[in-house]
Amino acid sequence: MKISTKIGAGFLVVLALSTALIIYLLLRIDTLSKGMNEMVNDRIAKMALVQDLGHNAVSSAVLIRESIISQNPARQSENKKAVADLIEKSNQDWRQLVKLVNLPKEKQTITEIEEKRGLYIIQATKVNDLIARQDMEGAINVLLTTLKQAQEPYFSAMRHLGTVQITRSQELAEEARQIAQVAIYSGLMLLLIMIVSGAFIALYTIRSITVGLDQAVDISGKIAVGDLTHKINTGRKDELGVLLLAMKEMQDNLLRVVEKVRFGATAVTTSSKEIAQGNMDLSTRTESQASSLEETAASMEQLGATVRENADNALQANQLAQSASSIAIQGGEVVARVVETMKGIDDSSKKIADIISVIDSIAFQTNILALNAAVEAARAGEQGRGFAVVASEVRSLAQRSAAAAKEIKVLIEDSVAKVEDGSKLVAQAGATMEQVVSSVKHVTDVVTEISAASRQQSEGIGQVTQAVTQMDEVTQQNAALVEEAAAASQALQQQAQQLEQAVSVFKLNSGERIGNSVSPTISNSRVFSPTINATPKSVGIARNMSSKEVAISAANRKLALTADGADSWGQF
């Protein structure tokens, strides 16, 4: 936030608090004014009317009783007129009171009093008329009965209405007291807040300006003496923040210039060391990689032979599985035919059992007939003796036939039960053969997949062998590139020495020379041309690149590095 904005905002805050205080006090005063207006123009007026109504009622009651007691006609006539005037005055006050009523509770009370008052006025007028006609006995009777009964509720309701007005007046007075008390406390609180806020805003504005100026002066002094390590806080958003941001950018630019020079020299020196070490590591890894690739190629050849053998075995296993599948299918068909045959035998056994049952029934009926014939022969006496002998023999044969039929039936039932058990076993054998056929088919599919996978593995191993051969060729080419890296590291060392000489003119803000912070340069004795102990095959390919080509490539790299370094320092 700008300084002008801070100052303006401070005055606006104080002005807003002052305005809020004034508005709040005006609202409280308006509320008090409304309460006092209601009390004076409404409650006090209603209380006066209620008091007049009560006074008129009491006065009329006194005059009526005085007229009854008095025996003076003139006095009675005056009292009658006075009672009529009081009733008329009471009616006027009542109409005015009804107009002033505005609260629901008061309206309900007025409605209740209206009926009681009307009854009281009627009875009072009646008594007054009886007195005027000198009917004292009737007047006393009405006075002590109906007028008295109407008077008590009316007076009680009027007292209640007066109590309501007094209670509401007390409530308004209490509300006015509370409003005044709250207004005083709130006004004092707002005034205190306004004073504290104004003081805080003033102190905050003064402090923010002085702190920013002190910081800018301190930073300028440190930069003037060459201290670029001071941290500048640019979190401010005002004019002093813009000034500090500009000073920070100036310090950062100076730091970047010095650090680029310093770390550039260190980086070049470190890079020359790393390149030298990298050449040594590259030589060792190239030799190891060449040996490993040869071993890998031999292993891949053995693996290829093994995979081809596995493919042949898988093919034979596939053929055997297909043969076993055919045999299992044939066995399943035979079992199915056996199941059908067992079903036929089972049906025939059931038919034989039915025939035996018929024979048993015939033997039983024959036995009955023979028994009847014997009975008839016994009745015939001597004449039927021969017939009785024949009937006895027929009965004996029927019993033997029945016994034989029962034995055959038992045997047939046992045979049927065994045939049913055999049918169940044959059915289970058929289901088992179906499972065997399914399993054999699954095995055939698996063996087929294994055979296909073996062929794919054989093809993949051939591709891997080809890739290993290509890697071997690349490794042999890398061996030749190591010599170029050695020549490049020598050129890089020379550039590092030149860079150290260039940055030695700079000094840090603490007084030390930048050149002293850079690591010592690599001695010529540490720069080497690594010897490549490659395999004969690698050496043969490396020799395809002549030493002349290697020397030309290294010289070109060296010249390029030298030219780039000279241009860079010239621009700096």
DSSP string for 311-343: HHHHHHHHHHHHHHHHHHHHHHHHHHHHHHHHH
Query: Which of these, 79, 44, 52, 47, lies nearest to 63 by C-alpha position?
Result: 79
Residue 261's pLDDT is what?
65
Strands (E), 62-146: none
| 508 pLDDT more than 60 | no
Contact yes or no for 489/273 (Cβ under 8 A) = no
Per-position DSSP letters for 247-306, written without gaps between them: HHHHHHHHHHHHHHHHHHHHHHHHHHHHHHHHHHHHHHHHHHHHHHHHHHHHHHHHHHHH
At 499, the pLDDT band (50, 70, 90 cuts) reads: low
Q: At what angle do helices 148-224 and 3-38 cross, to 10 degrees?
A: 170
Structure tokens at 329: 């299918």
What does the pLDDT look like over 36-74, one tens digit per residue? 665 655 666 666 677 677 777 777 777 777 777 777 777
Question: What is the C-alpha separation between 405 and 359, in angstroms, rounded?
Answer: 7
Question: How long a stretch of residues is the chain?
Answer: 572
Res. 202: pLDDT tops 70: yes
524 pLDDT exceeds 60? no
Q: Which of 508, 510, 521, 515 is nearest to 257 (CA)?
A: 508
The Cα 110–Cα 100 span in angstroms is 11
d(CA 483, CA 493): 16
The per-residue pLDDT for range 443-481, each reduced to its tens digit, is 777 777 777 777 777 777 777 777 777 777 777 777 677
Mean pLDDT of 369-374: 76
Report the sign of the C-alpha dihedral through residues 541, 547, 552, 555, in that order. Answer: positive
pLDDT exceeds cutoff 60 at 567? no
pLDDT of residue 553: 47
Provide mean pLDDT across the span 324-338: 72
pLDDT at residue 552 in the model: 40
In terms of Cα–Cα distance, which of 349, 364, 354, 351 is closest to 403?
Answer: 364
* Residues 329-340, mean pLDDT to the nearest whole number: 72
Band (486; pLDDT cuts 50, 70, 90): low
Least Cα distance to 315 among 202, 458, 432, 213 occurs for 458
Mean pLDDT of 232-240: 72
Q: What share of the chain has pLDDT > 70, as a percent?
A: 72
Mean pLDDT of the chain: 70
Q: Is the predicted pLDDT of residue 192 greater than 80, yes or no? A: yes
Question: What confidence tens digit (pLDDT) does each residue in 132-179 have?
Answer: 777 777 777 777 777 777 777 777 777 777 777 777 767 777 777 787
Q: What is the mean pLDDT of residues 487-510?
A: 62
CA distance 201 to 193: 12
Distance between CA atoms of residues 427 and 181, nearest Å? 108
pLDDT digits (tens, 9 = 90+) for 26-38: 787 777 666 666 5
Show the domains of the chain with their CATH numbers. 3-202 (1.20.120.1730), 269-503 (1.10.287.950)
pLDDT, tens digit, 9 for 90 and up, residues 288-321: 777 776 777 777 777 777 877 777 777 777 777 7
- Looking at residue 29, its pLDDT comes to 72
Q: Is the pLDDT of residue 403 over 50?
A: yes
Considering only 12-16, 71-75, 411-415, 505-509, which range has the smallest mean pLDDT? 505-509
Collect all residues with Cβ–Cβ distance below 8 Å to 86 and sequence separation of at least 6: 56, 59, 60, 63
Residue 557 pLDDT = 47
Helix, strand or coil for residue 391? helix
